[in-house]
Structure 1
Amino acid sequence: MTNSVSGGVRTLLQLEGLCILAVSLLAYAKFGSGWGTFALLFFVPDLSFAGYLAGTRVGAISYNIAHSLIGAFVILTAGVLLSVPLAITAGIIWLAHIGFDRTLGYGLKYSTGFRFTHLGVIGRKRIDS
């Protein structure tokens, strides 16, 4: 896929993901609502996989909405500005999930298929015998 990064740039983006995860965990330790809540909500953004039931285009859109930093920052900022602890908790957990995924190399999806991300192709390579 020609629209993905590789080499040092990919590594840098994965390190950024690790930083997002680490800062989110530190913030959650200070401002969160308990680690049980964290564990319960951590994989909620992955429900966006269901979009792939409607095809790769819809799946990529739903996945990217749930895995873009924009939504997480909007929820977190609204929670801070409006003093809504639930939004703060949700925003921090959402950011942690995105950081975790990016650290593992799971990037935003292209409509060509689930395996094709801005961080490169994910999953096993098909071996024909």
Structure 2
Amino acid sequence: MKGITGNLNWLLRLEGLTLLTLSTVAFAHYGIGWKVFALLFLIPDLALIGYLLSNKAGAILYNLTHALIGPACCLCLGLIISDSQFMAIGFIWSAHIGFDRSLGYGLKYSAGFRYTHLGTIGK
């Protein structure tokens, strides 16, 4: 699989870093405590357990927890019902995704963990 190279690679990583930064700043406003942030930050990575079953199961679970659809829905629901806990969880979740994307960990293909929409990891 061909990876993203050059300036586009750096732009996408900077985009992830921006998402991490803005989500963390927003969490500080809606937040429910930094201990909660630290506790929940790595929860999306529990999806990696899917790789124990198969590459396909791992990719599906990883993508379900690392696409921006989930945190966007959580944030939208938090806005609609005025619930700061939903907002905080949405910001923690999106911060995690931004962190991963800034490191080059993109959404996965079923070929294996290393194969992402941002290119191959560890090549």
User: CA–CA distance in 2 between the matches of 1:73 and 1:32?
Assistant: 16
> Aligned residue for 2:9?
10
Report the Cα offset of residue 55 of structure 1.
0.3
Partner of residue 94, structure 2: 95
TM-aligned CA deviation for residue 100 of structure 1:
0.4
Residue in structure 1 matched with residue 41 of structure 2 by the alignment: 42
Show CA shifts across 1:76-102 (max 9, x none).
110111112221111000000000000
Task: For residues 36-88 of structure 1, give each alpha carbon's deviation from its aligned partner in whole angstroms, at most 9, with x where no partner exists.
Answer: 00000000000000111120011101001100011110011101111122211
Q: CA deviation at 1:6?
A: 1.8
Give the root-mean-square deviation of aligned CA atoms: 1.0
TM-score by structure 2 length? 0.95
> Structure 1: which 4+ aligned runs deviate by more than 3 Å?
none
1:6 and 1:119 in contact (8 A); partners too: no
CA drift at 1:7: 1.6
Counterpart check, 1:72 vs 2:40: no
Matches within 5 A, 1:54-73: 54-73=53-72
The structure with the largest alpha-carbon Rg is 1
* Residue identity matched to 2:72: F
Report the identity percentage.
54
Match of 1:106 in 2: 105
- Paired with 2:97 and 2:20, the residues of 1 have a C-alpha distance of 8
Q: Distance in 1 between the 2:37 and 2:7 partners?
A: 32
State whether residues 107 and 119 of structure 1, in contact with CA within 8 Å, keep that contact through their aligned partners in structure 2: yes
Counterpart AA for 1:54: L
Residue 19, structure 1, aligned to residue 15, structure 2: no
